Amino acid sequence: MMNYQISDWVTATTNQDEMLHGYVESMDVLGGLTRIYVIASDRESTIGKVMEVSNQDVKKLPPSSLDIEEQVRSLIDVALAVRDEMWFLELTGKLLAIQQNESKRSERDHLPSLTFKNRLGVDQL
């Protein structure tokens, strides 16, 4: 039984025992094959290509939260490489939100503290 769908992020192993990381582009249920667009692999020549692997050798990756700017920037590069305009727009919106949250956080860090210590060393509000 397959626990993944088209567009899911997966890892897989080829018949030559090569590791693939990418997303499911299409599936041949009757033939027992999954076509994966490869973004990372043991063999660099497969990166950016579609590889066919046996359904049983494919594992769905758990969803991850996109709250780290470097992760979002990496995915923007992938969206550009695969020419997915909708995904690119979604990711750039997420990147802008992260950057705005970081600028608000840094503004709060520069606000004067509401707590202080008196000469006796006792905290007060």
- Residue 107's φ and ψ, nearest 5 degrees, are -65, -40
Instruction: Please tell me the predicted confidence (pLDDT) of residue 26.
Output: 93
pLDDT digits (tens, 9 = 90+) for 66-99: 668 888 888 888 888 888 899 899 999 999 998 8
Instruction: Please tell me the predicted confidence (pLDDT) of residue 81.
Output: 85
DSSP secondary structure string for all residues of 60-99: EPPP----SHHHHHHHHHHHHHTT-HHHHHHHHHHHHHHH
Supply the pTM of this predicted model: 0.57
Instruction: Please tell me the predicted confidence (pLDDT) of residue 115.
Output: 52
Of the pLDDT bands very low, low, confident and very high (cuts 50, 70, 90), residue 125 is very low
* Mean pLDDT, range 33-59, rounded to an integer: 92
Give the three-state DSSP class for 52: strand
